[in-house]
Each structure stands twice: as structure tokens, then as C-alpha cells.
Structure 1
Amino acid sequence: MDLVQQLNDDLKDAMKKGEKEKLSIVRMLKAGMMNEKVKLGHDLSDSEAVEVVNREIKQHKDSIEQFTAGKRDDLVKEQTKELDILKKYAPKQLSPAEVKKVVEETAKQLGTKSKSDFGKLMGAVMGKLKGKADGNDVKKAVNDTLS
């Protein structure tokens, strides 16, 4: 089942069950996908739909970080609940160990050894892991590999 169809099904289900938080998140994702569809001028592919979900997840993580720094525990709790719902629609993320393995293999293939090769290695790895790993995990693994 594709992501858009799953969102439509979950929207109906959340309406029937009266799950306000889930309903709100599903509507937000559908709106984000519609905006992306208009921006691109064509129906979204699965990878483009996943990009929208990942963008929302990243925004929620950033919000949690900011609210934690501002000691707004009520908002942290709300954002965390929403993040848990969002993660249901994202593809499974690779663990930091799996990311490190891909980075090391790519570094061997490209022959990168110094910090000056950071951009080259980071670009190659992100091309392979787009949507499958958090950019911060990739950045840390690339830094560790090149140090």
C-alpha cells in the first residue's frame, strides 16, 4: 500500500475513532504532500512523499530540542506524541552502526582519507542513504571515519 493511500485510510479511521492528535497529524501530512505536489507540478512518487514525512519529522525534532532548551515541558510532551505518530509513516531508519558501515565502505570506494574530502564523502553517502538515515548520524559517522 502506498503512503498516500495509507494516509487516506488512517484519516478515515481517526475520524471514526475520534483520535484528534492522529487526525491533526494526518491532515498536516496530507496538506504537506498537496503543497509539494503543486510545487513540483505532478503526482508525488513514493520517495517524494517520504521526503515530506522526513521533513516533518525533522521539524518536530528541532521543535523538541528548542522547547527542551526553553524548559517548555508541556510543548515537548505534545511534540513528542506527534513525532511518535509521524514515525509510523517514515521508512525504517538505519542504526548508527549501519550508517557507519556504509560510510566506511563508501570511503574505501572513493579513496577518501582526510578532512578535506568531507564534502565528497558526505555527498556520496547521503545519495545512498537518503530517507534511510538521519543526516546528523551520517555527519557524525563521516567525521569519525575521516579523523
Structure 2
Amino acid sequence: MTYDELKDQIKDAMRARDKVRLSILRQVHGELKDIEVNERRDVTDEDVTAMVKRLIKQTSETLEGSQKAGTDEERTQNLQRQVEILNDLLPAQLAGEELTALVEKTIAELGAETKRDMGKVMGALNAATGGNFDKAQAAKDAGARLS
């Protein structure tokens, strides 16, 4: 997602009067605006993705606390919806057969043979996909192919 796409989604949420979506999108926008002001640079697509991931983590932690407390059902549902909205903003994660093929290709390119090479394989996958892959599945696939 780009910064301009985020702004467009904010406008769409305003038109639809979707308060929950508008709230979380404005939160992302505000955090990105801080980058522009404090660091005096333009926001990149990587900044947008990193900020969305950070907010997913924060909102998920708040959601867990709300679920454990169990006192405010409306707040819990609101937080669940916010996490879903944030997840929709991220590009689709690489998983399944595509990920398995990439793991095999990476192992072949690196010449990895033992479990000691697992870090190199995971690092190369991270670099190739920008960290946008199912890490648990990748580790399982790589572990099965490395002795």
C-alpha cells in the first residue's frame, strides 16, 4: 500500500461513515505524518508497511488484554475489526506452494546443506520477500530439506 492509497482509503471511509475503519486509518496516517515532520523526509511504501505491521502488533496486544479482562465486549469487537482492517492493508503473504518453491530455490542458490545454514536461508527469504511470508511454514520447509 502506498501513502496516496492510504489517503484515498481515508476519504472512502469518511464517505461511507465507517467510524472504526476511519479511526484506524487516521491512526496510521498520523504515525506516518510524524515521520514526515520529525525526520523531514517523504514517506516510502516500506514506511507504510512497517507502520501497519507495528500497529497490528500494538492493536493485537491491546485486543488480548481486552479479551482477558472480558469486561467491555463492544471494545473487544472494535479492536478485532481494527486488526482485520490493518491486515487487509498489507500485501498478501507468500505461503503454500509458492513459498515452498521459493524455499527450494533459495536453498539451491545458497548451496545450503545443513541446519546450520537455516539462518542464511531465512535471511535470504526475508530479503527476497521483504519479510512478507509465512515464517513458520518457511522454517518447517527449510528444516525438512536441510540435514
- TM-score when normalising by structure 2: 0.76
Alignment length, in residue pairs?
145
Quote the offset at 1:29 in angstroms.
1.0
Q: Deviations over 1:59-101 (max 9, x none)?
A: 445555x459837494654333112211332112212332222
Q: Deviations over 1:23-57 (max 9, x none)?
A: 11101111222234456541122233222223333
Letter in structure 1 aligned against 2:41: H
Letter in structure 2 aligned against 1:122: M
Give, in whole Å, the separation in 2 of the partners of 1:57 and 1:17.
23
Equivalent position of 2:138 in the other structure? 138
Quote the offset at 1:106 in angstroms.
0.3
Give, in whole Å, the separation in 1 of the partners of 2:39 and 2:142.
32
Q: Deviations over 1:105-146 (max 9, x none)?
A: 101111112121121111111000114324444344333433
Give, in whole Å, the separation in 2 of the partners of 1:137 and 1:76.
29
SS of equivalent residue, structure 1 residue 43: coil
Give, in whole Å, the separation in 1 of the partners of 2:69 and 2:144.
32
Letter in structure 2 aligned against 1:30: H
Aligned partner of 2:68 among 70, 76, 79: 70
Whether the 8 Å contact between 2:3 and 2:43 is mirrored in structure 1 is: no
Give, in whole Å, the separation in 1 of the partners of 2:28 and 2:84.
14
Equivalent position of 2:29 in the other structure? 30
Kindly report which structure 2 residues correspond to 1:110-129, keeping only aligned pairs within 5 A, or say none. Answer: 110-129=110-129
Structure 2 residue runs of 5 or longer lacking an equivalent are none
Kindly report which structure 2 residues correspond to 1:1-147, keeping only aligned pairs within 5 A, or say none. Answer: 3-38=2-37, 40-61=39-60, 66-67=64-65, 70=68, 72=70, 74=73, 77-146=77-146
- TM-score when normalising by structure 1: 0.76
Whether the 8 Å contact between 1:61 and 1:83 is mirrored in structure 2 is: yes
Structure 1 residue runs of 5 or longer lacking an equivalent are none
Q: Would the alpha carbon gap of residues 127 and 38 (structure 1) be closer, same or farther in structure 2, given more than 3 Å must change?
A: farther
Q: Which has the larger radius of gyration?
A: 2
